[in-house]
Structure 1
């Protein structure tokens, strides 16, 4: 199951295990069970002195296995094979259970240990994931960490493809999907800090007070995508006090699978790229405040000399200069049915949710690069793909269009306006579109709709403070200045054309240099 190279790498990691680990497998007679047995035997063979495996488990989910530090009553279970993107999650679970410290702040570990349900009992988490989902590992690793450090947190990680009956029964059409004590807790990517904050009701107030007590920054960057990270690195290299308040460090790169056009990096994926951005930024001593959404900007002229950034949790940060790099988000198609059936057939990430539509008919709205890449990706998984494009021709690169037309299970409708996403019994059952040339409306029966129609800037909170274009982009000059003295902007949230990672990074660097120039001149 694991090739020699992977076995060697795994063996090197397992050398860090210092405390005994016990695993108990519940297996059936199917191929997945046989593969799980082989995987567990391989793991045990690499550290037989510290890892024991029993095969007499009686859990109803087969194949599955529990994993815990010997002598503890913690509860972590993997149902289905944790391979693909989740192999790293398994390795980390082994290391943490075996005594190797996680790379999180001790204050967060103590907060996890202190969690306890208000009315007694336990936090019983079930997280459904797919092996091709690049957002799932963050959630799996967060809930695994919590289960390892708090016996009241019990986590079961379920590979949806191996337990399709459960997925269908719960009508799960997007991953990761997290259930707490049988009720839906959340969908999509969540970091451990977010999950803990939802369980610890007093966390937001404590966090706000902690943030408000921070000393003013020379440069405060709002947003942690490529533009924000580059700005932080360039500013920190000047030897000044730099902070980054980011809703999600890495920004949209976290949702990007293949990055093949960044100079000097031949090929990587988004989560790795985002992790590298954060590691480099931290190496310069930048104060990163993750999971922080800005709600308001108060210019220095109104705030008494320092620009203030008011956060969603009520905290306030102060700075001599501010760089806005809030990025953008997926644009909604804004037709009836989209909001109603989100995560019930309406999806935005083909890599994450595509496997849940195996053997089904789906549509992709959008004929640009992202839409056609999504259609090509989905065509290898689903039964049939219908592409709906508003313009009279596809806007994607020629090489992608050629590849799309070579696929036997794809139909393209151009000059087509999506008018409604239809559904029944709480999930998608079709899509309506109007032929813009004839005015005739059509209905396509399908079970999934992937929306891929571009981006909208995250700038709503800036209205009335900085100048915005008619598209909501922050208006900047060639140096990244906004109309507000001491406030700069960079990246996908600005009027700079071409929303690309390399362009965002260069604009972030430019904004940092402009902010430093402002500091030394004022």
Structure 2
């Protein structure tokens, strides 16, 4: 099951085990069980602290538990933790085996202090880049607190269960049998939902912070670059981010980041966060900005209002809040989100295996999604508003070669239909004949571009374009002195990771230049 290279790496990792662990498998006669037996035998062969048994009686087969001898920790996988989830397996082995997780000591103590019995279930797919964060977070919590249990379930393998529970997006998280969350969640987010006083405590800590010289709002590539460049100047730098990594976290393959032939969004986001933390930057994650109050005088303090009621002050700001997937905004979209309406073909595509789906959008993202889905689903209908596709020619040729794809151009989606619990169709209007047509299907993937995250700035005095993008000059400065902006939230064309990083660095250098040119009296007053 594991090649020689992976086994060698695993042998090295498992030298960090501090306590013996046992893998207890529940198997049947399926091919999945045969593969699981081979996987677990390979894992056990890499460390004398790992043993394996095949006498488990769990109802889900194939599945296996990772147990500690003291019986005070258990993590379970229903299905093979391969693909993106192989790292989750390695970390689960280490953490159940006593190797400390790489999270803040304060977070560890909060997890251990949780009072209650929590049985988590997470549905994942091996191709989902968002799922590992959730699986790893809950596995870590299970290893730290004996009253927390977690099972990660491969939705593609347990299709009957997925259908019965109407799971149509991954990751989907259940707590004690009830819906808990969907989509990417970090360990702090999960903990905040369980520890209801956490938000108030965090708000109190933020209120007590001194003013920053540079405050970056947003933690994507632009924000990370801005923070690093500011910190390297030796000035007091903070980052307030709704989720560190931003839109990059939802990107599967990155092949145009110069000098790096291939990487994946979550890996790049993790590297960005680690690079920022190598400097003296105060990173405040999971903090959503809801308002900006500009300084009354040049060199004064700008104020950022946060959703939790706290506020942050800084002499200069760098706004890098990025963008999010654009909604098609038709009846049925909101009602059936995660019930057949999806935005990530890599994550949710395996749940539609053998079914009919539509992709709305004929740009690169839409055509790439249709190509990927065509290898999984029964049929793909691609719907494009324009009279021609806008994707690169090479992608269009690939799409046209696929036998299970229908391309409909000059079509305006008007409604997404469902039976009350899941999607069952879509209606579009032919823009040339003005006639309506219905397509029967089980899933709709929306891929029509991005919208800037700037609604919170509309009453701030920061000038926005008609599309809601922040207007900046060649230095990255906005209409307000001392407030700069960078990345996908701005009017800068070509929304690319490498461009966002460059713009973030430029905005940071401009902010530093602004600070050092302030008259001494204004700088002293601002401080």
TM-score, normalised via structure 2 length? 0.97
Which residue in the other structure is 2:491 paired with?
Answer: 495
Q: Is this contact kept in 1: 2:289–2:307, CA < 8 A?
A: yes
Contact kept in structure 2, 1:80 and 1:159, CA below 8 Å: yes
Equivalent position to 2:472, from 472, 476, 480: 476
Q: Which residue is equivalent to 2:86?
A: 87
Within the candidate set 482, 485, 501, 1:486 is matched to 482
Match of 1:27 in 2: 27
Judge conservation of contact 2:299–2:315 (CA < 8 Å) in 1: no
CA deviation map 1:147-196 (0-9, x unaligned)? 11111111111111111111000111100000011111011000000000
- Number of aligned residue pairs: give it: 517
State the partner residue of 1:135.
Answer: 130
The Cα of 1:72 is off from its aligned counterpart by 3.2
Q: Distance in 2 between matches of 1:372 and 1:130?
A: 22
Aligned to 1:161, what secondary structure does the other structure show?
Answer: coil
Deviation at 1:352, TM superposition (A): 0.1
CA distance in 1 between partners of 2:40 and 2:246 (Å): 36
Asked if structure 2 preserves the Cα contact closer than 8 Å seen for 1:258 and 1:267, the reply is: yes
- Residue 159 of structure 1, aligned match among 150, 154, 157: 154
Superposition pairs for residues 119-518 of structure 1, below 5 Å?
A: 122-301=117-296, 305-465=300-460, 466-518=462-514
Q: Distance in 2 between matches of 1:220 and 1:132?
A: 36
Give how far 1:235 is off.
0.9
Once residues 471 and 80 of structure 2 are traced to their aligned partners in structure 1, the CA distance between those partners, rounded to angstroms, is 49
Shift of 1:20: 1.1
Cα distance in 2 between the residues matched to 1:249 and 1:303: 30
Aligned Cα root-mean-square deviation (Å)? 1.1
CA contact (8 A) 2:73 2:96 kept: no
Moved over 4 A (4+): none
Does the CA contact (< 8 Å) of 1:364 and 1:386 recur in 2?
A: yes
C-alpha separation in 2, matches of 1:350 and 1:188 = 13
How far 1:304 sits from its partner (Å)? 9.8
The answer as to whether partners of 1:128 and 1:158 remain within 8 angstroms in 2 is yes
> Residue deviations 1:237-270, cap 9 Å, x none?
1111111111111111111111111111111111
Task: Look up the match of 1:103.
Answer: 102
Report if aligned partners of 2:77, 2:151 keep a CA contact under 8 Å in 1. Answer: yes
Any stretches of 5+ residues in structure 2 without a counterpart? 519-527
Tell me by how many angstroms 1:74 deviates. Answer: 2.2
The separation in 1 between residues aligned to 2:84 and 2:26, in whole angstroms, is 23
**What is the CA-CA distance between 1:302 and the residue it aligns to?**
7.7
| Separation in 1, partners of 2:61, 2:148 | 22
Equivalent in the alignment of 2:522:
none
Q: Aligned partners of 1:86 and 1:204: how far apart in 2? A: 30
Deviation at 1:305, TM superposition (A): 2.7
In 2, Cα distance between the equivalents of 1:68 and 1:222?
A: 42
Moved more, 336-345 or 276-285: 276-285
Distance 1:203 1:304, change over 3 A: farther
How far apart in 2 are the matches of 1:488 and 1:171? 45
Secondary structure at 1:300 match in 2 = coil
CA shift for structure 1 position 19: 1.2
- For residues 389-421 of structure 1, the C-alpha deviation after alignment (integer angstroms, 9 at most, x for no partner) is 000000011111111101111110110000000
SS at match of 1:320: strand
SS at match of 1:318: strand
8 Å Cα contact 1:19/1:69 also seen in 2: yes
* CA distance in structure 1 between the aligned counterparts of 2:185 and 2:137, rounded to whole angstroms: 8
Contact 2:24 2:67 in 1 (8 A): no
Task: Write the mapping of 1:28-43 to structure 2, written as runs, cut at 5 A.
Answer: 28-43=28-43
Provide, for residues 45-101 of structure 1, a one-character-per-residue CA deviation record: whole Å limited to 9, x for no partner: 1112x1121111111111111112211322321111111110100100111111211
Q: Give yes or no for contact 2:15–2:47 (8 Å, CA) kept in 1.
A: yes
Write the deviation string for residues 486-519 of structure 1: whole angstroms up to 9, x where unpaired: 1110010011111111111111011001000011
Deviation at 1:425, TM superposition (A): 3.9
Report the CA distance shift for 1:313/1:301 in structure 2 as closer, same or farther (over 3 A).
same
Between the aligned partners of 1:260 and 1:301, the Cα distance in structure 2 is 45
Shift of 1:204: 0.3
- TM-score, length-scaled by structure 1: 0.98
Inter-partner Cα distance in structure 1 for 2:478 and 2:68: 55
> 1:68, 1:148 within 8 Å by CA — same for their partners in 2?
no
Contact 2:19 2:98 in 1 (8 A): yes
* Counterpart for residue 11 of structure 1: 11
Deviations 1:473-494 (A, max 9, x none): 1111111111111111001001
Structure 1: distance between partners of 2:238 and 2:299: 20
